[in-house]
Amino acid sequence: MVEASALVEDGIVVDSHDAGRRVPWWSFSKTVLAAASLVLVRDGLVALDTPVGDKPYTLRHLLQHRSGLPDYGGLHAYHEAVGRGDAPWPITDLLERIDSDRLRDTPGEGWDYSNIGYRQVGELIETLTGMKLNAALQRLVLEPLGIGRVFMARSPSDLANVAMGEAKNYHPGWVYHGLLIGSVQDAALLLDRLLKGHLIPADAVQDMLSAHVLPGPVPGRPWQSPGYGLGVMAGETTMGLKVAGHTGGGPGSTIAVYRRTDGERDRTAAFFRTDEDPAGTEERTFELLSL
């Protein structure tokens, strides 16, 4: 099993293990997408609370999984196709399979985790910047925060030197909002700098951290009082820590990247392992934060 970790304290990497290894960021990519969209809000190119095009939901709804859009995570056929090593479905096929035109809730009233919602965020970023998503994320987020060696995987060949565990033939196109590849050190430094306000104004950081509270505790997970902000999971852990960040997982591996938000310690940590174990990965990350 491959394990990699990084602990950032007062802005400096103070502890690490195999921290430069390239790993899939999975749903931590959502945090980067959210950051990019908030840069566009900062620059006046889009508003958080104005409907997106002709849709009934806003950018805030999309970022907080409150748009009412469905997801494909529960599709048995999706997991079967991934397991067989099939090529990703065309997006039109996927949207038809999940009946994407039918909202599950009135926007702002419910909460349903939606990868499709974040695909729409990515499309909005591309439309507003006139750039492909990878280039837009580099320009809007990664370069300003001093994060290099991170890229969006598009084909299996992009994963040749990435720690994928047993999912060696995985096609990154199955992550329809985009799969970023980077190190745990870069993930921890990115979140640390982002939530310290190095990229977006303090009020935008506060928007990210203002979480829609979800039912807790979460059975089998180290969350006492979970919630979801704008591109970040935020709340209190069973260890009594207040944190914000994101857990991500896919075939063969899991990553968790979190920062303490209680003000007691200036710490951000990331932990990755080639095992599909979100609870254990979160626990290891929270342990690093509590050292």
> pLDDT tens, 46-96?
999 999 999 999 999 999 999 999 999 999 999 999 999 999 999 999 999
- H-helix or E-strand spanning residue 254: strand 253-260
pLDDT at 291 over 90: no
Predicted TM-score (pTM) of this structure: 0.98
Distance CA 259, CA 285 (A): 9
pLDDT tens for 150-198 read: 999 999 999 999 999 999 899 999 999 999 999 999 999 999 999 999 9
Stretch 25-43: mean pLDDT, rounded? 99
pLDDT of residue 85: 94
Q: Which residues pair with 58 in a beta bridge?
A: 51
pLDDT at 18 over 90: yes
Please give the CATH superfamily to which domain 3-290 belongs. Answer: DD-peptidase/beta-lactamase superfamily (3.40.710.10)
Supply the DSSP symbol for 142: I
**Nearest to residue 271, comparing CAs of 35, 16, 31?**
16
pLDDT at 214 over 90: yes
pLDDT at 264 over 90: no
* Residue boundaries of the structural domains of the chain: 3-290
Q: In what order do the strands lie in the sheet with 23-24?
A: 23-24, 179-182, 151-153
Maximum distance among all Cα pairs of the chain, rounded to whole angstroms: 49
C-beta separation of 230 from 60 below 8 A: yes
Residues in the chain: 291
DSSP result, 178-198: -EEEE-HHHHHHHHHHHHTTS
Query: Binning pLDDT at 50, 70 and 90, where does residue 218 land?
Result: very high
